[in-house]
A = this chain, B = another copy of it.
Amino acid sequence: MEIKVVHQIMEWNEDHSDEIKAKLREKRVCLVNIMGSPGAGKTSVITSVIKAMSDKFKIGVIEGDIAGRIDAEHMKRLGVPVVQLNTDGACHIEAMSIENILPDFDLDELDVIFVENIGNLVCPAEFNIGESFRVALLSIPEGDDKVEKYPLMFQTTDALILNKYDMIEYFDFDAERVIRGAKEINPDIDVFKVSNKTGAGLSEFTAWLGGRIEESINA
């Protein structure tokens, strides 16, 4: 299975997210926009989720990267359909790129597409890509002051994963500060303490994720 690499085309001021939503609703496919800083653990968590949920859902992946296809090569080994989207410098994924990519998937054979956005705690939060819902990751080594510094990401996400939680003893990280700050600007946010390395907290997250995917498919 060859990995398809697609380059992002940017069109001034065009929002294609409504068309994407209509298409996905028709095909009963859920699109999950997964965001976070470089190295927060997006690829690793998606990998764990695929392993945990592939008996229940038919899964596809869109790997967003500025350059390269490291993560797509990784996903390919899991046996799921994957498309690599290269933004060629751009700091976020745009809806139009998702619309261009959808025909590369057999949507009748999918329940959910995970979109791994560009590693960036800022810009991706500004752009609706037609997603059913959002998941943001913040890893413990990044520090506990990120809600105050990068509010939009935490304000617009549906779930927040505090990843690399096994590292909490090595870093000065006050999880309650993050949770309190996030809930202040986003009262409905669901927060999960996860160590993708040890597996701790993953089952709570996948239970939540499975529920949201089913809600979305059956809406």
A70 partner, pick from B12, B123, B149, B167, beta carbons under 8 A: B149
| Interface residue A102 (Cβ < 8 Å from any Cβ of B) | no
Is there an interface contact between B2 and A123, defined as CB atoms closer than 8 Å? no
Q: Interface on chain A toward B: helix, strand, loop, or mixed SS?
A: loop
Contacting B at CB under 8 A, from A1-55, are 1-5, 10-13, 37-39
Contact yes or no, B123 A66, CB < 8 A: no
Q: Which of B89, B91, B146 contacts A39 (CB 8 A)?
A: B146
Query: Quick check: B123 and A122 within 8 Å, CB to CB?
Result: yes
CB–CB B2/A148 < 8 A: no
Chain A 107-125 interface mask (CB, 8 Å, partner B; 1/0): 0000000000011111100
Nearest Cβ in chain B — how far from A18, in angstroms?
19
Contacting pair A119 B39 (CB below 8 A): no
A167 to B164 alpha-carbon distance, docked (Å)? 13
Chain B residues near A1: list those with CB within 8 A: 90-92, 123
Seen from chain A, the residues whose Cβ lies within 8 Å of a Cβ on chain B are 1-5, 10-13, 37-39, 65-68, 70, 89-92, 118-123, 126, 139, 141-143, 145-146, 148-152, 164, 167, 170
A126 and B2 alpha carbons, distance in the complex (Å) = 13
A120-B121, A167-B167 known, 16 other contacts, Cβ within 8 Å: A2-B12, A3-B10, A4-B12, A37-B39, A39-B142, A66-B149, A66-B151, A89-B152, A91-B120, A118-B122, A119-B121, A119-B122, A120-B120, A123-B123, A141-B141, A141-B167
Known interface pairs A1-B92, A4-B12, A91-B123; A38-B146 also in contact (CB < 8 Å) = yes
Contacts of A39 in B (CB 8 A): 37, 139, 141-143, 146
